Amino acid sequence: MNVTYIPSSNTATNGVALGADSNRDVIVHKILVGLPVDGGAIVVSTITNPINGATTNLAAKLVQPTAASGKDWFREYNFGPAGLPLNQGGNVTIDQTMNVSVIWDYLDQVDQ
């Protein structure tokens, strides 16, 4: 199990690659968000180095809801037993300062 922590916006650098080897597929199990920002977006791409704002190679876009009646200070996105498969290492880009942790594995190391 691997964890990648992203503490602040990384749109200027086109996000962070999950796998060190861009030729290996990864699977995302969960994304944990501490201190979510109203309307903040977490974009998960199926390639290591996407262009910021591009909708090609998009695996998921998780937009934080607005807290109308009280702030939810923690969110968990669980992709279930199958997980969210990403090609070529995958990438996560966030557009606000949020405490985002991505829990993932290399696909070839997951028990099938």
One-letter identity of residue 1? M
**Count of structural domains, the chain:** 1
Chain centroid, CA 25 distance in Å: 14
Q: Give me the CATH number covering residue 23.
A: 2.60.120
Backbone angles phi, psi at 30, to 5 degrees: -145, 155
pLDDT in tens, 8-52: 999 888 889 997 777 889 999 999 998 888 889 999 999 888 877
Identify the domain containing residue 97 by its residue range. Answer: 2-109
pTM of the complete model: 0.88
* Whether pLDDT at 69 is above 70: no
Which of the two residues, 103 and 47, has the higher pLDDT score? 103
* Closest alpha carbon to 93 in 22, 6, 1, 2: 6
What does the DSSP 8-state code read for residue 64?
P
